[in-house]
Structure 1
Amino acid sequence: MGVKDASTTATNFFGTLCFFSFLGAFVSDSYIKCFYTILIFAPIEIMATFQAHFPSLHPPPCDTVNNPNECTPVSGRNLSLLTLGLYLVPIGESSIRACAAALGGDQFDGDDPAEIPGKISFFNWYEICISLGGFLGLVVLVWVQDNKGWGLGFALAALMVLVGTAVVAVGLPFYRHREPTGSPVTRILQVFVAAFRKRKLPLPENLVEVSDGTGTSAAVDDGDRRRWSLCTVTQVEEAKIILRMLPVLMSSILAYVPFSLLLSFTVQQGGAMDTHLGAMSIPPGSLFVVPILFQMLILTAYDRAVVPWLRRATGLAGGVTHLQRVGVGFACSAMALAIAAVVEGRRRRRGASSAAMSAFWLTPQYLVISVMDVTSFVGLLEFFSSEASAGMKSIGSSIVFCVLGAGSWLGSLLIQVVNRATAHAGGGHGWLDGASLNASRLDLFYWLLAVLGLVAFFLYLFCAWNYTYRHDPRMQKDDDDDKVVSPASTKQAAPVV
């Protein structure tokens, strides 16, 4: 595929991978426990192994680096099977992304002050383990794929999935399990439907009391006692939580648009540069080892040294608030894009000799990308997981991946829009046209993304500044997780519609 099509395919796949996490979250919160959701869905993602095994399903081999114009793009039945194989992965991966974080968080009692620091530390180590898995994949699997074939590489990946699932199963006797509470999506929809139905009713002097076992509140009684007309206090509070988080959610999506594109195009940058380290040639795909190593080092130092110091200095359980941590990451995103634009401009100015420019010039942008991932991803994971009500913990975790997925899809749209607009202004040749980066203007596209990242950062700051946490970050949680929603909610009961 050319630069535009390959990047669009990669970002679309990543977006779908993230969005399908909502499926696993919905199933685990509504019907079965997180543990069983992982066991059921995880093996599905190994199906892509079969597509990679049969040579008849591959396009003809060619030299994509030296003679890219002679390559035949994948099309027809092979493209359909490739797409099918790719999109089986998100169905299985969704359970791991949504439920692993939720299952791990459930092992800590949020009402026990002694366990709260462990819960905060868990999410840091959860990200370290994700990075370690990525490191092994990039070092071991990429080498196998490049030297022994994609079929064997996918087979090893499938084996890792099965072994990992078995390891999760071994822990069954030791887990704390959170019981499903029914569909949280349905409960929230009932609130909006009931509110819409009663939008024209006057507020009477005598309100009816409604109880759901966790709390009682007043409601407008029009004689219809069905669930889609009369909702409990817990349902209303869940709806209020989602509405209050919505501005942070939307601004985070915009801030993640440049991130997914930067990851995709950086691999293509590496493929157009010299990837030798001494006498050893490193595959472009393995260049992601650099930011993953940075991530593991930064996260370890942050969890073991920075957080304890910040905790003593600020009095906050996590050293900083969740949204402050996310904000640092979004600021780093704009910085990484500016660095990437400078490096790509230098590479492009060297023209045909750009292969002599070392791919390790990408290290600065990799470092800043790592800081962004360490701060924004983990911060959002902590934020949505802690702010969600007890019956929406898995969905709270999945929202983070939905943010990444929506950012990827918008990134794909942005590629198409920018390329079409620049092709119209440039006499038919867009910034991202051509089979190689030397025929494109990726440097200008990076500068555009840097501006977009800066705008997204200030928009996020505005939304985060006006957000009210459910619990004071300096205080411990109350006994009833669903009754404490905000400082204002402790003064008067929330109405039920």
Structure 2
Amino acid sequence: MSNTGVATEELGKTAVRSSSGGWRSARLIICVEMAERFAYYGISTNLITYLTGPLGESTASAAANVNAWSGTVSFLPLIWAFIADAFLGRFRTIIISSSLYVMGLGLLTFSTMIHSQELQVTLFFCSLYLVAIGQGGYKPCIKVFGADQFDGNDIKEAKAKSSFFDWLMFGNCITILTSQLVSSYIQENLSWSLGFGIPSVSMLLALFLFLLGTTSYRVITERGGKKNPFARISRVFVEALKNRKQTDVDNLKENLLLLPHQDSKEYR
């Protein structure tokens, strides 16, 4: 069977199909994704309630803050995707962003225990946007990294890749529903510290599980000799700019050559 474009570990060793990737790694990544989804929806579902309750904001102000944060969460994956593809790679990006994610959730939980209203609000928003930064790096990489565990040129593994996305989606749906029900109940009826603390532990578990499979992952460094698409696109723009400048110079020279000779005594 063809093995073109097989994953290469970043330490320079060629990945061996029998001992890396496949369902052995993919199952772990599904569990990682479920734990992360539980953490994310555990804090995002009830943000307006927390802002209008313990933090004392108006409904309009709370909605505006949540919308601004949601927009940031949606935008940051674009930046992180570029960083991952151009510099860090998906594996390193997931580890770095997940660490920031855990740190943000931990600070978010800690902010609920502070008695000073001003300090509590400041720490809350700082930690909330740290969560956005971490989630922005994690989100665009984890699913693709899971797909990297299967060789698309192998018929059996190509079919397994399709099944991977099916199980990933199923697991996410179950986890999101569970997180919204459990977290909302705990936050509104028991404690906000506990309600934010459980998602923090869930994300810490996600990071632990991901690191647990480090030796079994197929980490793509290059596929089929193709270079980074963002680098190719940027070079296209650079070349286009150079060509435009050169065209302008050529047009100027051509126009000067076409200017009619003016034999006027006025300039003698």
Amino acid at match of 1:82: F
1:42 to 98, 101, 113: 98
- Note if contact 1:48-1:85 (Cα within 8 Å) is conserved in structure 2: yes
AA matched with 2:207: T
Alignment-derived partner of residue 155 in structure 1: 197
Name the CA distance, whole Å, in 1 between partners of 2:167 and 2:71: 24
Distance 1:134 1:149 in 2: 20
SS of 2:185's equivalent in the other structure is: helix
Measured after TM superposition, the shift of residue 91 of structure 1 is 1.3
1:189 corresponding residue in structure 2: 234
Q: In structure 1, which of residues 105, 125, 129 is the aligned counterpart of residue 167 of structure 2?
A: 125
CA deviation profile, 1:352-409 (whole Å, cap 9, x unmatched): xxxxxxxxxxxxxxxxxxxxxxxxxxxxxxxxxxxxxxxxxxxxxxxxxxxxxxxxxx
Q: 1:3: how far off?
A: 4.2
Q: Show the counterpart of 1:136.
A: 178
Match of residue 243 from structure 2? 198
> How far has the Cα of 1:148 moved from its partner?
2.4
Compared with structure 1, are the counterparts of its residues 120 and 149 closer, same or farther at alpha carbon in structure 2 (3 Å cutoff)? same
Deviation at 1:79, TM superposition (A): 4.2
Q: Give the corresponding residue for 2:112.
A: 52
Identify the residue that residue 110 of structure 1 maps to in structure 2.
152
Deviations 1:328-372 (A, max 9, x none): xxxxxxxxxxxxxxxxxxxxxxxxxxxxxxxxxxxxxxxxxxxxx
Rounded to whole Å, the distance in 2 between the matches of 1:165 and 1:27 is 20
Query: Residue 233 of structure 1 corresponds to which residue in structure 2?
Result: none
One-letter amino acid matched to 1:85: S
Q: Which runs of 5+ in 2 are unaligned?
A: 1-56, 248-268
State the one-letter code of the partner of 2:238.
V
Q: Which residue of 2 aligns with 1:91?
A: 133
> Structure 1 CA distance, aligned partners of 2:168 and 2:202?
17
Show the counterpart of 1:362: none
- 2:88 corresponds to: 32
CA distance in structure 2 between the partners assigned to 1:5 and 1:86 by the alignment:
16
Give the alignment's Cα RMSD to 1 decimal. Answer: 2.6
Question: Structure 1 residues 91, 36: CA separation in 2 closer, same or farther (over 3 Å shift)?
Answer: same
Percent identity between the two aligned chains: 30
Higher helix share: 2
> In structure 2, how many angstroms separate the alpha carbons of the residues matched to 1:200 and 1:91?
39
In structure 1, runs of 5+ residues without a counterpart are 58-75, 203-497
Matched AA of 2:89: K
Whole-angstrom CA distance in 1 between matches of 2:228 and 2:120: 39
C-alpha deviation, 1:165, in angstroms:
0.9
User: Contact conserved, 1:30 with 1:182, CA < 8 A, in 2?
Assistant: no
Query: What's 1:168 paired with?
Result: 210
* Matching residue within 7, 10, 13 for 2:69: 13
Q: Residues 43 and 133 of structure 1: is their aligned pair in 2 closer, same or farther, counting only changes over 3 Å? A: farther
Q: Deviations over 1:71-115 (max 9, x none)?
A: xxxxx6654433222111111112321111110111122222333
Counterpart CA distance in 2 for 1:187 and 1:50 is 44
Q: Which has the larger radius of gyration?
A: 2
Distance in 2, Cα, partners of 1:84 & 1:167: 27
Question: What pairs with 1:89-488 in structure 2 (closer than 5 Å)?
Answer: 89-179=131-221, 184-199=229-244
Q: 1:18 to 1:99 in 2, by over 3 A?
A: same
The 8 Å contact of residues 29 and 182 in structure 1, kept in 2 or not, is answered as no
Instruction: Tell me the SS of whatever aligns to 1:53.
Output: coil
- 1:81 is matched with which residue? 123
Measured in 2, the distance between the counterparts of 1:146 and 1:122 equals 36
User: 1:28: Cα distance to partner?
Assistant: 2.5
Instruction: Quote the residue 1:381 is aligned against.
Output: none
Change (3 A) 1:131 1:55: farther
- AA of the residue aligned to 1:109: D
Which of the pair has the greater relative contact order for Cα pairs under 8 Å at 6+ separation? 2
Contact 1:35 1:103 in 2 (8 A): yes
How many equivalent pairs are there? 184
Q: In the alignment, is the contact (CA less than 8 A) between 1:48 and 1:154 conserved in 2?
A: yes
Q: Which residue of 2 aligns with 1:412?
A: none
* 1:1-25 CA-partner distances (Å, limit 9, x unpaired): 4443333322221221122223432
Q: Distance in 1 between matches of 2:227 and 2:128?
A: 31
Q: Which residue number in structure 1 is paired with residue 17 of structure 2? A: none
Provide the C-alpha distance between the structure 2 equivalents of 1:126 and 1:119, rounded to a whole number of angstroms.
11
- TM-score of the superposition, structure 1-length normalised? 0.34
Alpha-carbon distance change, 129 to 15 in structure 1, aligned in 2, over 3 angstroms: farther
| Aligned-partner Cα distance in 1 for 2:69–2:169 | 21
CA deviation profile, 1:419-439 (whole Å, cap 9, x unmatched): xxxxxxxxxxxxxxxxxxxxx
Q: Is residue 43–residue 161 contact of structure 1 (8 Å, CA) maintained in 2?
A: no
Q: CA deviation at 1:39?
A: 1.9
> Normalised by the size of structure 2, how large is the TM-score?
0.60
